[in-house]
């Protein structure tokens, strides 16, 4: 009987001992101090925090958070970030989020991959990235001056506001808010040009399949911008604004005929129709004059335009190309170039019709010859082919003050050259 009791007690003791030996050991949570003081060893090793979370300490000194889990019977590992960028508390939060996904039947690793892919797709369709594509596509045909202006406007006014947003998430309200901020600082013209430029980027996104429609198309300038004084012919009358335009004209990449006309337009400041129909038979390169017959003038009076050295140089370069024909600037067939050629070239350079027109160069010269170069108003009016009368009310003839006007035209050409 005693033997039986001793044997029973021994079996119970062994069973209890075995039970404790096979029970999983409890993992004590890590402390911030343990994580911070963990040193590299000869081999990578793990410090467990519990719940599937551990810190992988590499032999090179790296400390990487990992979450071990099973999904559909497979053992998997999820990277949660690197210490110290991801603290112990943050790592536990990420572990708990992953465990929540598991509880809802989702693989945390696949969810992370999907989120990363969505973020990459979002970045690939941002306004800034598409604008850079659009810029690169058009830069080869732009002048360097225009390209610089476009880049500056994008970087200063557009990218900080809507650059990071996917184009599909940009609304008309977003664009309107951006434009009104630009207008509020007194840059209404810039706001208008930026609207046009953004519209081109949006339409490029539509053409490349990343956008359904241009959100800026619904914004009409007359409805969102403050009303401004209407000018019959828009013109630039400030030297700091005229200089970049003159440089852009010199770098124009169109035909020699249009470029030459574009260069002469601000220099000679005749009416666009007069320049368009300029004939070689009316140009005397030896005396440096261009005599326009009465039938080609608005006032039906003959007119003389003294040609400065810079104008002669342009005509001498053009002569081998068009000198065997009637018109200095020929178009198709035997007709002169289109009456819209100058304005079309200005639009190509990025200057809209509310900023400058071919006819507006007359106002540019009228203002700056008077206010900056201090020439007599009657000389300027003569050269503009306006009706100027003497003290007896008689109209001066076309040769009046010709030497003075010749000096003025040369001074004007020199001034334009100095601006560039």
Return the active site residues.
271, 298, 359, 362, 386, 396
Distances (CA, A) of 196 to 199, 215, 258, 388, 389: 5, 12, 24, 41, 45
Q: Sheet of 53-57: strands edge to edge?
A: 45-50, 53-57, 63-71, 74-82
51 in helix, strand or coil?
coil
Q: Are 55 and 47 in contact (CB under 8 A)?
A: yes
Would residue 110 be called left, alpha or beta, if left means φ above 0 and alpha means ψ between -120 and 50 degrees? Answer: alpha
Q: Sheet of 283-284: strands edge to edge?
A: 283-284, 289-292, 303-306
d(CA 342, CA 243): 18
Q: Which residues pair with 241 in a beta bridge?
A: none
Nearest to 343 by CA among 359, 320, 365: 359
48-87 burial, b at 16+ Cβ within 10 Å, e below that, comes to ebebbbbbbbeeeeebbbbbebebeeeeeebebeebeebe
Residue 168 CA neighbour count, 13 Å, CB half: 10
d(CA 326, CA 209): 49
């Amino acid at each position: 009987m005693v033997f039986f009791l001793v044997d029973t007690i021994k079996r119970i003791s062994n069973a209890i001992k075995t039970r404790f030996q096979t029970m999983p050991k409890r993992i004590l949570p890590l402390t911030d101090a343990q994580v911070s003081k963990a040193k590299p060893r000869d081999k990578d090793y793990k410090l467990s925090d519990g719940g599937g979370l551990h810190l992988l300490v590499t032999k090179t000194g790296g400390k990487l958070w990992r979450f071990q889990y099973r999904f559909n019977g497979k053992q998997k590992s999820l990277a949660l970030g690197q210490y110290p960028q991801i603290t112990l508390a943050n790592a536990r939060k990420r572990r708990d989020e992953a465990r929540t996904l598991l509880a809802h039947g989702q693989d945390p690793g696949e969810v992370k991959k999907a989120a990363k892919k969505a973020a990459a797709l979002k970045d690939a369709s941002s306004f800034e990235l598409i604008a850079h594509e659009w810029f690169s596509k058009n830069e080869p045909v732009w002048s360097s001056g225009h390209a610089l202006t476009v880049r500056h406007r994008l970087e200063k006014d557009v990218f900080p506001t809507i650059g990071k947003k996917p184009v599909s998430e940009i609304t008309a309200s977003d664009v309107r808010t951006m434009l009104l901020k630009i207008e509020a600082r007194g840059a209404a013209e810039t706001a208008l040009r930026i609207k046009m430029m953004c519209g081109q980027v949006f339409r490029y996104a539509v053409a490349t399949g990343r956008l359904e429609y241009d959100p800026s198309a619904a914004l009409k300038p007359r409805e969102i911008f403050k009303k401004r004084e209407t000018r019959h012919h828009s013109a630039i009358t400030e030297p700091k604004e005229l200089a970049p335009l003159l440089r852009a004209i010199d770098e124009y990449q169109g035909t020699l005929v249009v470029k030459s006309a574009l260069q002469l337009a601000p220099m000679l400041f005749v009416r666009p129709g007069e320049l368009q129909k300029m004939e070689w038979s009316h140009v005397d390169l030896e005396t440096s004059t261009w005599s326009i017959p009465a039938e080609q003038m608005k006032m039906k009076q003959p007119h003389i335009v003294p040609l400065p050295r810079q104008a002669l140089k342009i005509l001498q370069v053009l002569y081998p190309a068009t000198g065997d024909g009637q018109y200095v600037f020929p178009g198709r067939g035997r007709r002169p170039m289109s009456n819209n050629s100058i304005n079309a070239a200005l639009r190509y350079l990025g200057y809209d019709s509310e900023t400058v027109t071919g006819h507006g160069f007359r106002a540019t010269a009228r203002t700056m010859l008077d206010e900056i170069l201090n020439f007599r108003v009657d000389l300027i009016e003569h050269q503009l082919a306006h009706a100027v009368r003497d003290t007896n009310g008689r109209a001066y003839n076309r040769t009046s003050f010709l030497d003075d006007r010749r000096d003025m035209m040369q001074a004007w050409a020199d001034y334009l050259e100095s601006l560039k």
